[in-house]
C-alpha cells in the first residue's frame, strides 16, 4: 500500500505536548517541509509527477540562473543605495539560495533578505513549489473524510451547494452553462450586475464582471448586449469549459474606496490545531487589478490584517518586489490603508472558522471572504493557498507566525508515517 493511501487510515491525534512545538524545529519548518517533499517523494502526488521529476533533477539549476539574471538588474542598484550591499554580494546570496538551498533565488528580493546582515536564512520560509505540488495534499490526507468524500473546493457549483447545506453565507449560483446548454436557477437575479467564472478553477482565472446598464442591457466583452445575447454567449463559452453566473456583490462602504469596480476580498488562513479545531493564523485584504478594467496594472495588492484588532498594515504587490514597493496608501485609489480597521472583523474571522468546521476534512485552507453591506459573504475556499505572497505581505516567515508550530506538528506526523528524514542533507538535492 502506498504512502498516500496509508495517510487516510491514520487516526487524528491531539495529545502532543505544546512544548514539542518550540525550539529549532519550528524555526526550520520550511526546510523540514522541503526535506519531506524529497525524502518521502511527495512530488509523485503532484498533478504532473513526471514534470516534477524533470524540474527537480534537470531544469531547476537553469531556472535558478535565469531568475538571478532577471531580478538582479532590476533591484540590485536600489538595494545597494538603500542598504549598502554590493551587487556582487547580492548575487552571491541569490546563488546560495538557488544552488545550495534549492530555493527560488527571487526570494532574496521577494522576502527582503537584504534587510538582515549575514548569510541568507530561508529555513523558516515555506515555499510555494512544494506546497502546490504535493505537500499540502498529503497534509489533507491526514484528515478523516466527513462527507463520504472530500468536496472539491475548486468546483464553484459544488462548493456553493455545500455552503447552502451547511448554512454558510455564500454567493448563490443563478445560472449554469455546460456543453452548450444553459440552465437558469434564479431568473429574477438576472436583473442586476452579474459575475461569470469557470465552474472549476482557481482564483480569478477566467472570471469576468458583467455590468447591467440602466436600459436593461449588459456590458460584455467591450460591447453592449441584450440579456438574450449575453446568455447565448455564455452558453457558447461553455463548450470550452462549464461556466456559472452569480450576482455581483457590492463592497461594504467602509472598504469600497480601496477598489473601483472589483470586489475586495479578505484572505484568511485557517489550520487544524492541536485540539483538532480550526485556528486562524493569517489574514490579509486583497484587491485584484486584473478585475479592474480602468487600472493600468495587473498587480495583486494586499495588506496584512492584525488577527485581534482587524487593523491593517502596509500594502504591497505580488510582482513589484523592490524595497520601495510598500504603500501606506493604496497605490491606485490613493486611499489610506495602514492603520485602517476592517469593519465587522470579528464576524469575518468567525465565518472563516465556521467554514473550516464545515469542511473539516482539510488540514489548511485559504478562505476568501467579501464584506458586503449585508455582512461577510464566503466567496471560495482554497485547498492549496499560496504561501509565498502570504509571507511577503506579513514580512515574516511562516515559522515566526502562528502557522509555524502547527505545520511543525503536522510535519512530524508525516515523518512518523513515512520514516525519518534525518539522513537527508541540509541542502535538498
pLDDT for 203 beyond 80 = no
Q: How far apart are CA 351 and CA 169, in angstroms?
A: 8
Distance of CA 397 to the CA centre of its chain: 15
pLDDT score at 13: 31
Cα-based distances in Å from 419 to 8, 166, 369, 405, 416: 16, 38, 38, 20, 6
pLDDT score at 355: 97
pLDDT for 363 beyond 90 = yes
Cα-based distances in Å from 56 to 38, 98, 139: 9, 12, 21
The architecture of the domain spanning 156-167+251-382 is 2-Layer Sandwich (3.30)
Tell which wins on pLDDT, 352 or 35. 352
**From-to residues of CATH 3.30.470 in the chain:** 156-167+251-382
Q: How far apart are CA 57 and CA 65, in angstroms?
A: 15
| CA angle (76, 79, 83) in 5-degree steps | 145
What confidence tier does 372 reach under pLDDT thresholds 50, 70, 90? very high
pLDDT score at 356: 97
Query: How many percent of the chain have pLDDT more than 90?
Result: 59
Three-state secondary-structure class, residue 37? helix
What confidence tier does 148 reach under pLDDT thresholds 50, 70, 90? confident
DSSP 3-state percent helix, strand, coil across the chain (nearest 5): 40, 20, 40
pLDDT score at 418: 67
pLDDT for 44 beyond 80 = no
pLDDT for 251 beyond 90 = yes
Range with the largest mean pLDDT of 41-50, 204-213, 358-367: 358-367
pLDDT for 10 beyond 60 = no
What confidence tier does 204 reach under pLDDT thresholds 50, 70, 90? low
Q: How far apart are CA 41 and CA 268, in angstroms?
A: 30
pLDDT in tens, 150-188: 888 888 888 988 999 999 999 999 999 999 999 998 888
Q: How far apart are CA 362 and CA 170, in angstroms?
A: 19
Tell which wins on pLDDT, 76 or 198. 76
pLDDT in tens, 392-411: 999 999 999 999 999 999 99
Tell which wins on pLDDT, 39 or 429. 39
123-135: average pLDDT: 89
Contacts of 315 (CB under 8 A, 6+ apart): 301, 302, 303, 326, 327, 328, 330, 331, 337, 338
Q: What is the chain's mean pLDDT, rounded? A: 87
pLDDT in tens, 223-241: 899 999 999 999 998 888 8
pLDDT in tens, 272-300: 998 999 999 999 999 999 888 889 998 99
Q: How far apart are CA 168 and CA 360, in angstroms?
A: 14
What confidence tier does 100 reach under pLDDT thresholds 50, 70, 90? confident
Q: Which of 14-18, 42-46, 282-286 has the lowest mean pLDDT?
A: 14-18
> What's the distance, Cα to Cα, between the start and end of the chain in Å?
26
Q: How far apart are CA 369 and CA 169, in angstroms?
A: 10
Is the whole-model pTM more than 0.95?
no
pLDDT for 423 beyond 60 = no
Q: How far apart are CA 284 and CA 317, in angstroms?
A: 12
Cα-based distances in Å from 274 to 300, 389, 397, 403, 409: 33, 26, 21, 12, 8
pLDDT for 14 beyond 80 = no
Q: Please answer whether residues 152 and 200 qualify as being in contact, where contact means their C-beta atoms are separated by less than 8 angstroms.
A: yes
Amino acid at each position: 500500500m502506498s504512502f498516500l493511501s496509508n495517510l487516510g487510515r491514520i487516526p487524528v491525534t491531539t495529545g502532543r505536548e505544546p512544548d514539542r512545538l518550540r525550539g529549532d524545529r519550528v524555526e526550520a519548518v520550511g526546510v523540514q517541509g522541503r526535506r519531506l517533499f524529497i525524502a518521502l517523494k511527495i512530488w509523485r502526488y503532484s498533478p504532473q509527477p513526471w514534470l516534477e521529476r524533470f524540474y527537480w533533477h534537470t531544469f531547476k539549476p537553469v531556472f535558478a540562473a535565469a531568475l538571478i539574471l532577471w531580478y538582479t538588474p532590476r533591484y540590485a542598484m536600489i538595494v545597494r543605495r538603500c542598504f549598502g550591499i554590493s551587487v556582487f554580494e547580492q548575487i552571491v546570496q541569490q546563488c546560495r539560495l538557488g544552488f545550495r538551498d534549492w530555493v527560488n533565488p527571487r526570494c532574496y528580493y521577494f522576502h527582503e533578505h537584504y534587510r538582515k546582515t549575514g548569510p541568507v536564512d530561508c529555513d523558516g520560509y515555506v515555499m510555494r513549489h512544494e506546497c502546490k505540488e504535493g505537500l499540502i495534499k498529503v497534509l489533507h490526507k491526514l484528515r478523516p473524510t466527513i462527507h463520504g468524500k472530500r468536496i472539491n473546493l475548486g468546483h464553484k457549483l459544488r462548493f456553493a451547494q455545500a455552503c447552502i447545506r451547511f448554512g454558510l453565507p455564500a454567493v448563490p449560483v443563478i445560472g449554469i452553462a455546460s456543453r452548450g446548454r444553459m440552465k437558469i436557477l434564479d431568473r429574477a437575479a438576472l436583473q442586476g450586475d452579474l459575475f461569470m467564472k469557470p465552474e472549476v478553477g482557481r482564483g480569478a482565472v477566467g472570471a469576468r464582471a458583467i455590468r447591467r446598464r440602466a436600459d436593461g442591457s449588459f456590458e460584455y466583452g467591450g460591447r453592449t448586449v441584450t440579456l438574450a445575447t449575453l446568455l447565448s454567449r455564455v452558453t457558447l463559452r461553455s463548450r470550452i469549459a462549464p461556466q456559472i453566473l452569480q450576482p455581483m456583490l457590492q463592497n461594504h462602504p467602509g472598504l469600497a474606496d480601496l477598489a473601483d469596480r472589483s470586489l475586495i476580498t479578505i484572505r484568511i488562513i485557517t489550520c487544524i490545531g492541536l485540539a483538532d479545531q480550526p485556528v486562524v493564523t493569517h489574514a490579509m485584504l486583497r484587491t485584484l487589478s486584473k478585475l479592474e478594467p480602468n487600472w493600468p496594472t495587473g498587480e495583486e495588492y494586499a495588506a496584512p490584517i492584525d488577527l485581534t484588532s482587524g487593523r491593517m498594515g502596509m500594502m504591497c504587490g505580488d510582482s513589484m518586489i523592490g524595497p520601495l514597493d510598500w504603500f501606506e496608501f493604496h497605490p491606485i485609489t490613493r486611499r489610506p490603508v495602514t492603520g485602517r480597521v476592517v469593519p465587522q472583523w470579528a464576524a469575518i474571522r468567525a465565518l472563516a472558522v465556521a467554514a473550516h468546521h464545515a469542511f473539516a476534512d482539510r488540514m489548511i485552507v485559504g478562505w476568501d471572504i467579501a464584506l458586503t453591506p449585508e455582512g461577510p459573504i464566503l466567496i471560495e475556499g482554497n485547498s492549496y493557498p499560496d504561501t509565498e505572497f502570504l509571507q511577503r505581505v506579513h514580512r515574516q516567515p511562516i515559522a515566526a507566525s502562528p502557522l509555524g508550530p502547527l505545520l511543525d506538528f503536522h510535519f512530524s506526523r508525516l515523518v512518523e508515517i513515512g520514516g525519518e528524514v534525518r539522513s537527508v542533507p541540509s541542502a535538498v538535492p
